[in-house]
Structure 1
Amino acid sequence: ITQQIGATYFPAENIRERTKELKADAKLKVPGLLVIDTPGHESFANLRSRGSNLCDIAVLVVDIMHGLEPQTIESLNLLRRRNTEFIVALNKVDRLFGWKTSKNAPIRKAMERQSVDVVKEFKWRLTEVITQFKEQGLNTELYYKNREMGETFSIVPTSATSGEGIPDLLLLLIQWAQKTMVEKLTYVDNVQCTVLEVKVIEGHGTTIDVVLVNGVLHEGDQIVVCGSQGPIVTSIRSLLTPQPLKEIRVKGTYMHHREVKAAQCIKITAQGLEHAVAGTALHVIGPGEDVEEAKKTAMEDMKSVMSRIDKSGEGVYVQASTLGSLEALLEFLKSPDVQIPIRGIGIGPVHKKDIMKAGAMLERRIEYATVLAFDVKVTTEARELADKMGVKIFCADIIYHLFDQFKVYIKNIKEEKKKETASEVVFPCVLKILPKGVIKSKDPIILGVNVIDGILKVGTPICILKKIENLTEFMNIGRIASIHINNQPLDYAKKGQEVAIKIDSNHGEQKTFGRHFGSDDELISHISRRSMDILKTSYRDEISEDEWKFVLKLQKLFKIL
């Protein structure tokens, strides 16, 4: 999957040509389609302007061989949150075993050429996908069987490789748009334009690819765009578009224009675009318009994202290629299933200054001295500084892969900490000596006990509570050397279990049952501030909520601050 956004303009005459076999030469009331290819939901998040959605209708691509994957569900959820209408392109039908290619044919014509086995496999896989959509709370159906458009989402089987189903998809897009979006598709003069990508192009320098949804852009227009280092005020030097049916991201010759009318994807060349932020609005300064006010408006999107970060707290440093990607990543990291705290953010390549900011965590929480770099390059200088300081950099062009890398890193750190602190951790427990449970009264003491509360582990320091003249004192008995049940050794025993334990004095003062303590004394795990911190930091996931409440109860008992 490419991580660059592509855009292709389909003029009406080309759509008529591609759909003529469907006998719909038709009734096209729009001049064409501007199709923007976003590599996943992160890039789709860039398609907005001042909080609104630039996308009129979306095509959700589902691989017929794999069905709804996690990334597909994320995209689906974003479409639902944005209330965006969409059509499902059930792609890669040419991968069905035994598929006979009918290049660029309508899908029903292509299906007529297939064997019984191919049709059978197609129906089976289609049913699987429809079921998966139902599990997400959505009804779907093959578009030519769909009698409830609006209530039920249409599925168009396609092959991006050999073109089957593409005529159907184009015609359905046109028909659906013209039927349901008459008012939305009405052209207005107000410029509505969003920066999709910032690129360096040989012979043109740093350029911005924009999608113009409404209005007109002219050569020489004074524009304001959001920049990572402040607003950028510049003038359009040239307006470039790809040839019809060619993607803007594909290298080739561009068409020059003095002006471009919406809707179109345009490459703009101008001075000073190096720090432009993709995913933000482009503003044209009209006659008499206040430049300072336009600069403030241009920076609003960036400020809203920056304001979400708690710069005083603990957390990782996040770097992404665009504002939309950054917003998607922040949303993911803050989700209930992930919950990774964020202390700093940036847009664009990772530089030395970003490593310095991440390095502030080295003295506080070393695992957060980390840069999560999503779809961005890391400069050589930044890598060298990170290695020198001990800052970790994780790079990926898919959010889930970035999270997986960080999760493995955190798990390894926790395991290392567990090994380092294994001898110091104390799990909470209270034990009651069983009647006739004294097997050996001297060191090492062997007793039969009932675990009244908490969790008993080998290595736990055990003490008893003594009251002397209204003062509470604790007498250490020793450490749990072993736990047995029915002569079988255990690593731990839980609440309600009756077990035999051996208590070793560990070369300390030897205690004796009957002299220093008796059957009425409860045996308590001796916790400390240090052992509580270790338990909370490295072992919290190993104890239940009730067991943690018991720790807090012991904290009061031992008067730990």
Structure 2
Amino acid sequence: VLVIDIREGVKPQTVECIGILKQYKIPFVIALNKVDLLNGWQPHPETMLMKSIGMQGERVITELETRLYEVVAQLNGHGLNADRFDRVSDYTKQLAVVPTSAKTGEGIPELLMVLIGLSQKYLEKNLAVDKQQPARGTVIEVKEEKGLGTTMDAIIYDGTLKVGDTLVIGTLGDPVTTRVKALLEPAPLSEMRDRRSKFAPVKEVFAATGVKITATGIENVVAGMPLRSCSPEGAAQVAGDIKQEVEEVLLETDAEGIVVKADSLGSLEAVVKLFREHGIKIKKASIGPITRKDCTDCEANLQHDPLTCVLIGFNVPILQQPSPSITVITGDVIYRLIEQFEAWVAEQKKRMQAAELDVLIKPCKIRLLRGYVFRQNNPAVVGVEVMAGILKTGTPLMKKDGNALTEVKAIQDKQENLAEARKEQQVAVSLPGVTIGRQLHEEDILYSAIPESQFKKYKDFRKQLTPDEREVLREIADIMRGQDPMWGI
């Protein structure tokens, strides 16, 4: 069941779910939820959905139809042909959309009816179980319970499980082989994971059912892991099959990349799939809380690629606070994790580019002001105007012939030392190794003497430069190519 808020329509997380459903070819129906929040909706919890809709005002019905077909149009944009469940003419070609309210219960009977009807008609072979076969299931939750110790809530989807059976369960390492000590069934219509639910001991359970299992040695089992019952002699073979199944998700496939943790095997599979679809490399993917080892694995990326020094946690707690060199991004919505990661990478790239730019000689163009020669040499001190770019202390300067003459030893404005001067500023600069009236004259135009290697680097940062900085670089290139036509190319 794919749940969509009728007021918000198809969101990015909905698109993620659609992609996963399509990839694994999973048949589904859509619950268009929160109809009770439509302005003016009058709830009728004990009434069938179509009758309840008919009892609404005309304006409410119009809004329901409008919002419903807005969602239908959005789904169509993702290649899905959908319609309201009572208007679907061919369930093999159209998706059923059932308006519902989880709060009032309206539409829930119809949703169950559509699910059961479609399952019986089209998934009959998939629903077939063999009670004579060993049990196959999935762990839903592992927890400590008073009087019982460590227990597992599981869904048995095939076969039969009995007290005393040999049970093999997947873990992050080698599978656990144990024996079933007790089986506890929840009371009818109760939520198995609710601690207030009542359980009754039973000798055996049949698929498909939820059951609480008590056994020894299951402390390292995590949610989402597969479980199988078998004969004691077949335990080794089953353990090998389960380990291979788990490793298909937990495999470290990339030599470098981020570290991903999730709360269950199914969640991890979805996170890995969607991150890789965005071209994000994953060095390690595993289940459980964020630990010291995860932080160590992540920190190892720092020397090779700082942009992969990130630990992604989907719906998991942090047991070990990471060092400042590691970035941890946690949340319970996959697309938001991807957005946060991509935003972090973009910000880091900007900082890295800024750091690289900062060590380059800044492009600048200055003019020596007439009547502002304060000292002719040793060093020469003269007033200048910054015509373009940024003039910084230490900047080497050249004339229009391309020959470097001097560098800016110091910059002052009103007897205050400055680290830099920007366009249209008039400042005094000290220039060692030159004499005003010989090598330099009033009204001379000087450029920063940028080495060819740095000029080439500026091509990578073109977008970060101002228009006048780009123009100065063009003029510098023209000057230098007068001596070497291939300069900077």
Q: Given the alignment of the two structures, is residue 70 of structure 1 paired with residue 12 of structure 2, yes or no?
A: yes
Write the letter of the residue equivalent to 1:179.
K
Which secondary structure state, in structure 2, belongs to the residue aligned with residue 223 of structure 1?
strand
Q: Is the 8 A contact 1:212 1:266 kept in 2?
A: yes
Distance, in Å, in 1 between the alignment partners of 2:463 and 2:488 is 25
Distance 1:197 1:110 in 2: 38
Q: In the alignment, which residue of structure 1 is the partner of 2:126? A: 184
Is 1:358 the equivalent of 2:302? no
Q: Distance in 2 between matches of 1:296 and 1:395?
A: 33
Aligned equivalent of 2:334, options 388, 392, 399: 399
Q: CA deviation at 1:397?
A: 1.8
Counterpart position of 1:528? 453
Q: How does 1:141-160 map to 2 (within 5 A)?
A: 141-160=83-102
Q: Does residue 342 of the first structure (1) align with residue 277 of the second (2)?
A: no
Q: Kindly tell me: are residues 422 and 216 of structure 1, through their superposed partners in 2, closer, same or farther at Cα, counting changes over 3 Å?
A: same
* C-alpha displacement of 1:220: 1.1
Alpha-carbon separation, structure 1, partners of 2:254 and 2:54: 60
Q: Which residue of 1 aligns with 2:261?
A: 319
Contact 1:213 1:264 in 2 (8 A): yes
What is aligned with 2:110?
168
Q: Which amino acid aligns with 1:377?
A: P
Aligned equivalents of 1:169 and 1:378: distance in 2? 38
Deviation at 1:138, TM superposition (A): 1.2
CA distance in 1, matches of 2:346, 2:361: 21
**TM-align CA RMSD:** 4.6
Q: 1:284 to 1:425 in 2, by over 3 A?
A: farther
Q: Which amino acid aligns with 1:151?
A: K
Instruction: Give the whole-Å Cα distance in 2 for the aligned partners of 1:152 and 1:273.
Output: 44
Q: Of 298, 308, 311, which aligns to 1:371? A: 311
Q: How does 1:70-469 map to 2 (within 5 A)?
A: 70-188=12-130, 189=133, 191-251=135-195, 252-286=197-231, 288-289=233-234, 291-311=235-255, 313=256, 315-336=257-278, 339-379=279-319, 382-383=320-321, 386-387=322-323, 390-425=325-360
Please tell me the residue identity of whatever aligns with 1:274: E
CA distance in 1 between counterparts of 2:151 and 2:39 reads 44
Unaligned runs of 5+ in 1: 1-58, 430-437, 449-455, 465-473, 480-490, 493-504, 516-522, 548-553
Q: Which amino acid aligns with 1:374?
A: F
Cα displacement (A) at 1:86: 1.2
Measured against aligned partners, the alpha-carbon deviations of 1:295-346 in whole angstroms (never above 9, x if no partner) come to 21111123223434324x3x3222211222222222222223xx33333333
Larger displacement relative to structure 2 (130-139 or 274-283): 274-283
Call closer, same or farther: CA 1:506–1:282 in 2, change over 3 Å.
farther
Q: Which runs of 5+ in 2 are unaligned?
A: 370-381, 408-421, 424-428, 440-447, 471-480
Residue identity opposite 1:178 in structure 2: Q
On the 8 A contact 1:426/1:531 being kept in 2, the answer is no
Conserved in 1, the CA contact under 8 Å of 2:168 and 2:227? Answer: yes
For the 8 Å contact 1:227–1:276, the answer to whether it is kept is: yes
1:320–1:326 CA contact under 8 A, matched in 2 = yes
| Aligned-partner Cα distance in 1 for 2:139–2:463 | 44
Structure with higher Rg: it is 2
Change (3 A) 1:127 1:444: farther
Using the alignment, how far apart are the partners of 1:265 and 1:361 within structure 2? 42
Q: Could you tell me how far apart the structure 1 residues matched to 2:406 and 2:232 are?
A: 85
Distance 1:259 1:156 in 2: 37
**1:317–1:342 Cα contact (<8 Å) kept:** yes
Q: Deviations over 1:58-80 (max 9, x none)?
A: x1111111111111111111111
Q: Contact (CA 8 Å) 1:106, 1:166: kept in 2 or not?
A: no
Offset at residue 457 of structure 1 (A): 7.2
Q: Would the alpha carbon gap of residues 190 and 285 (structure 1) be closer, same or farther in structure 2, given more than 3 Å must change? A: closer
How far off its partner does 1:542 sit?
5.8
Q: Residues 130 and 475 from structure 1, CA distance in 2 versus in 1: closer, same or farther, beyond 3 angstroms? A: same
- Which structure has more relative contact order (CA 8 Å, sep 6+)? It is 1
Q: Do 1:318 and 1:342's aligned partners in 2 also have CA atoms closer than 8 Å?
A: yes
Deviation, 1:395, is: 2.1
Once residues 286 and 454 of structure 2 are traced to their aligned partners in structure 1, the CA distance between those partners, rounded to angstroms, is 38
Cα distance change on mapping 1:321 and 1:102 into 2, 3 Å: same
Q: Name 1:452's counterpart in structure 2.
A: none
Q: Secondary structure at the match of 1:267?
A: strand
Distance 1:150 1:204, change over 3 A: same
CA distance change for structure 1 residues 139 and 476 in 2, over 3 Å: closer, same or farther? farther
Task: Deviation per CA, 1:475-509: give whole Å up to 9, x if none.
Answer: 65899xxxxxxxxxxx99xxxxxxxxxxxx99587
**Worse-superposed segment, 142-151 or 345-354:** 345-354
Shift of 1:198: 2.8
> What is the CA distance between 1:254 and its match in structure 2?
1.4
Does the 8 A contact of 1:195 with 1:279 survive in 2?
Answer: yes
**Closer/same/farther in 2, CA of residues 229 and 288 from structure 1, 3 Å limit:** closer
Instruction: Report the alpha carbon displacement of residue 287 of structure 1 after superposing the two structures with TM.
Output: 5.8
Q: Give TM-score, length-normalised by structure 1.
A: 0.66
**Percent identity over the alignment?**
29
